[in-house]
Structure 1
Amino acid sequence: MIRIKAGSPRGPRPDVHSRGRWGSAVARGVRHGSRRGPRRLRRALAVGLPTVWGATAITYKLACPLAEQHTIGARVVGSAAFLAAGAGLLLHVRHAYLRELRQARKVAGAAQSVLLRPLPPWIDGLRVAAAQVSADRGAVVGGDLYEVIATEHGVRVVIGDVRGHGLTALATAAAVLGSFREAAHDESELAPLLRRLDRALARHLRERVRAEHPSSGREPDSPVVEEFVTLLLLEIGREGELRALNCGHPWPYLLQRGRAVPLSRSEPLPPLGPFPLPDDLPATDCGRLPPGQALFLHTDGAEDARDPHGGFFPLSTALARAVSDDVVPQSVLRTVFADLLHHTGARFTDDVALLVLRNDRRGGAPAGAWGTSRQATTDPRPTKHR
């Protein structure tokens, strides 16, 4: 159905195409003009201020009669003039570098928020708290990864550590996390889920090699032998039952009031990347997570942190002290990070990621009672202080 707008002029129809081209061109010009003004001003200041300072110093040296005198007063004035010009130039350069650094940190923070999305405080009856720190001073991105997703198969958790730091490790972590966020809903068991993560990692490494060496034109057999990812897959069932697949990652701790014990002592599989997965991948049965108890997941940067004398961080002791009164996820994170900072003198040699999951379900009620969405962030019970 054609609907005619009331009050439209009758007669020959204007040239819609030309009007659209001119209208869009004018709109683009207005937008670009509004953006070009501050950019042109910044460029003019970036070039003009050093030029003015340099021209002032040269003019003083060549044209000022005082610069030709050799008295002490003339030398002091000349030195002060050149010092002022040099200081102004250094301050200008410093300001420009700080502006670029702020922009880079803003971009890095946006990338980090997309990769490691902030976890909600509640996921399917579990109280959640997470924290991460990069080993690179002043950086906000690292090679650690974690995610918690509520699915129809239970709450699926992944935590891992990519070898290395920086943008390369960030890209590898993004490939693994992207695959997990999709496969966690599709696969009913942990074994096929782990295989999909392994294939995603291998595909990412092959594409990286082709991008780094495009002239070879061949499919690499072992794209990056030295690259690997330690990974722990954990599933929390509807009644609190725990199943896990561990590929070279530290086992979590089970937190009770006054106690912190390893969840399992079984030998993990090799890390993802260097070796193919075995044909048989049975998940490790880790018992149950009763209501009121919690799991503490971490990367090896926490256990391997050293003091100035080379001593390792006593993680189990710090956890036992953190749950001496009650198991509160945020309190556990604050205590462990405070002890880490004190132990290392705030000098981390590796990325650290910590994740605490406390079972706050009512008497082990089915997980589906509060939905199966990662975005289910509200607690259905009356709030109370713990």
Structure 2
Amino acid sequence: MIRTRSLLADGSRLRRLAPLALPSAWGAVAVAWKFGCPLARQPGLPMRIATSVVFLTVGTGLVLGIQRGLARELARARAVAAATQRVLLRPPPDRLDGLALAAGQLSATRGASVGGDLYEAVATPHGVRIVIGDVRGHGLAALGAVVAVLGSFREAAHDEPELGGVLRRLERALERHLRERARDEHPARAGSEPRHPAAEEFVTLLLLEVRSDGRLSVFNCGHPGPYRLGRRVERLPVGDPLPPLGVLPLPAVLAPYTAARLLPGETLVLHTDGAEEARDRRGRFFALDATLAGAAESPAALVRRVHAALLHHTGGRLADDVALLVVRNDRVRVPAQPAEPGLRRSRPTPSSHC
């Protein structure tokens, strides 16, 4: 097994060095020609020009070979990042139990495909359950907390009959992750101060359940409330907020907010705070509510339009990661049907008197 791994590693190194083989061979020939050929050592302008052309050609070949190797490494890194994003922040299905969905994420870290934002939507026997969250900070340092919370949600959403049980599972998963982080960051093991210590890490999130009749159950752990798009754009009420996960323990009794509904034809836009806190060069905040107003469109088109407006507003320089999850209720409201004639209660006929 060790020998096989060593051979694979050697093969990988040879593939990375392959683009430099031909320029290196030309360079060796040029050096041998310069110092081993008597004709090359003759004085005169023509010979100097010929020598310069030879070495310029060799140098150009080396630069192009290095550039080609770096381009291949960049393509591999992008492929790995795309695969990681598909597994970690996998796009939701276009339709889920009568709901149309779309999601998207913009990372503030240049060149990164994933960051500190998370989202997921799954259909369960208890309804469609949705989570969107934001880990403190952004970029690759927040991926551990994202993995812990999403992994726990994908199991707990199916196992827990009550939404409060799902939230408890998310809290325990994050606590385990933070304990492991704190142990790894101990001076006896790390040897240096961490840039993003676990003691300062927490997660804000919004946990929802959409039932078959459009009724919503919501837990808000310090996260921005979603927008509901119907006849107008309005902030959906989500009840009193709970503390973000990782800051304070959750209360002993968890009761979701259940006074909100998502009627057929209405759209719910869940987002992280990076959307509303994005600023332009003059320091003006991004008007997310005004951007959401307009003609009706599919969830995927709405995500693309908001992303384009965000990049235009900030000039492509985001200060924080941005995640969007759009849910539209495409369930058809069935009107009440009149009872069949044979099932109607017959009225007593008045008796006739002779």
Q: TM-score, normalised by structure 2?
A: 0.82
Structure 2 matches for 1:109-258, cutoff 5 A?
109-213=82-186, 215=188, 224-257=198-231
Structure 1 residue 315, shift from structure 2 partner: 0.3
Structure 1 residue ranges without an equivalent (≥5): 1-24, 218-222, 366-386
Deviation track 1:96-144 (CA, whole Å, cap 9, x = no partner) reads 1111111111112111111122211111111111112222233222221
Cα RMSD (Å) of the superposition? 3.0
Q: C-alpha distance in 2, partners of 1:39/1:319?
A: 49
Deviates more, 1:177-186 or 1:62-71: 62-71
| Inter-CA distance 207–35: structure 2 relative to 1 (3 Å threshold) | closer
Residue matched to 1:340? 310
Q: C-alpha distance in 1, partners of 2:29/2:20?
A: 15
| Inter-CA distance 128–364: structure 2 relative to 1 (3 Å threshold) | farther
| Inter-CA distance 106–327: structure 2 relative to 1 (3 Å threshold) | closer
Residue matched to 1:354? 324
| Inter-CA distance 280–35: structure 2 relative to 1 (3 Å threshold) | closer
| Inter-CA distance 241–44: structure 2 relative to 1 (3 Å threshold) | closer
Q: TM-score, normalised by structure 1?
A: 0.76
| Inter-CA distance 39–123: structure 2 relative to 1 (3 Å threshold) | same
**3-state DSSP class of the match of 2:260?**
strand
**3-state DSSP class of the match of 1:149?**
strand
Structure 2 residue ranges without an equivalent (≥5): 191-196, 336-354
One-letter code aligned to 2:161: S
Q: C-alpha distance in 2, partners of 1:362/1:352?
A: 32
Q: C-alpha distance in 1, partners of 2:209/2:304?
A: 26
Q: C-alpha distance in 2, partners of 1:254/1:44?
A: 55
Structure 1 residue 153, shift from structure 2 partner: 1.6
Higher RCO (C-alpha 8 Å, min separation 6): 1
Q: C-alpha distance in 2, partners of 1:364/1:194?
A: 33
Q: C-alpha distance in 1, partners of 2:299/2:18?
A: 50
Q: C-alpha distance in 1, partners of 2:309/2:20?
A: 49
Q: How many residues align?
A: 327
Question: Is the 2:220–2:238 Cα contact (8 Å) retained in structure 1?
Answer: no
Structure 1 residue 62, shift from structure 2 partner: 1.5
| Inter-CA distance 364–331: structure 2 relative to 1 (3 Å threshold) | farther
Q: C-alpha distance in 2, partners of 1:36/1:153?
A: 49
Deviates more, 1:173-182 or 1:325-334: 325-334
Question: Is the 2:218–2:238 Cα contact (8 Å) retained in structure 1?
Answer: no
Question: Is the 1:54–1:85 Cα contact (8 Å) retained in structure 2?
Answer: yes
| Inter-CA distance 211–40: structure 2 relative to 1 (3 Å threshold) | closer
Structure 1 residue 215, shift from structure 2 partner: 4.7
One-letter code aligned to 1:314: A
| Inter-CA distance 302–85: structure 2 relative to 1 (3 Å threshold) | same
Structure 2 matches for 1:297-336, cutoff 5 A?
297-321=270-294, 325-326=295-296, 328-336=298-306
**3-state DSSP class of the match of 2:181?**
helix
